[in-house]
Amino acid sequence: MAKDNARSGGRTGSAMGSAQGSQRDDMSSMKDGQFFPMAPEQWREKIREFTNLNTVKFIKIFQALFYFLQYRTREACCERDTNKIDWKKAKANINDDMFTKMGDYWPIGAKENNYREYEKMKYVQKCLEGVNSDELDEYSVALGKLYKWLNAAIEVRTEDIRMRKMNKESLKEKREKAIQDEKARMELRAVKHEEAKLQYDEQ
């Protein structure tokens, strides 16, 4: 994709704020408890233009996005029985449904979905390894925006998982301590009862 074509109208947009609420370039925000991660039409249209191309650089960004959102399975975007992305298959999935899926995505809280191995965070992050942000923005600002959205989503999701795990461990420790405290209390009560019994018997 020509640089000038990719850059025109591609610099405005919104994506996702960090877990700590810090502001990022062109990221989205929270408002009245609602999450607004999607970008405006300016760069959404530029992403759609990739479907007109036969070859694309940084193709694994799309693969990572499909898997992260559980938007499409491996069979829908890869060569048969492999994780090698097939662009002809993949680009057919770049449509309004994909943007809706992004818009509906909420990174906070436990997920009840069953995740295939390639949809898990470890593999998604592996798909993005080696991406140079400067080279990506030089190639296409719009795709750079998509990449930033995905990275922000991953960061927020990872932090949420970490915090929930810490809270779970903390609750487990508190529960175990409460059990031990109750056990000690009951043992002390039993001892005092036995001592009172002995004193009574000795009278």
HSE-CB at 137 with a 13 A cutoff on CA atoms is 5
What is the pLDDT, as a whole number, of residue 42? Answer: 67
H or E stretch covering 30:
strand 30-31
H or E stretch covering 35:
strand 34-35
Domain interval for residue 55: 3-164
Q: Is position 118 within any domain?
A: yes
What is the pLDDT, as a whole number, of residue 29? Answer: 39
Residue 52 or 16, more confident:
52
pTM of the model: 0.66
Residues in Cβ contact with 73 at an 8 Å cutoff, skipping those fewer than 6 apart: 116
In the predicted model, what is the mean pLDDT of the chain? 77
What is the pLDDT, as a whole number, of residue 98? Answer: 93
Residue 201 or 25, more confident:
201
Q: Is the dihedral of CA 149, 154, 160, 166 positive or negative?
A: negative
Q: Is position 194 within any domain?
A: no
Residue 24 or 148, more confident:
148
Give 25-56 pLDDT, tens digit per residue: 344 434 444 444 555 566 888 999 999 999 99
What is the pLDDT, as a whole number, of residue 48? Answer: 93
Q: Is position 140 within any domain?
A: yes
How many domains, the chain? 1
Q: Is position 82 within any domain?
A: yes
Q: Give me Rg for the CA atoms of the chain.
A: 26
Q: Is position 110 within any domain?
A: yes
Q: Is position 169 within any domain?
A: no
Query: What distance in Å separates the CA atoms of residue 88 and residue 130, rounded to the nearest whole number?
Result: 23
Q: Is position 54 within any domain?
A: yes
Weakest mean pLDDT among 2-11, 167-176, 182-191? 2-11
Q: Is position 77 within any domain?
A: yes
HSE-CB at 12 with a 13 A cutoff on CA atoms is 5
Contact 56, 50 (CB under 8 A): yes
Give 104-122 pLDDT, tens digit per residue: 888 888 888 889 999 999 9
What is the pLDDT, as a whole number, of residue 51? Answer: 96
Asked whether the predicted pLDDT for residue 16 surpasses 60, the reply is no
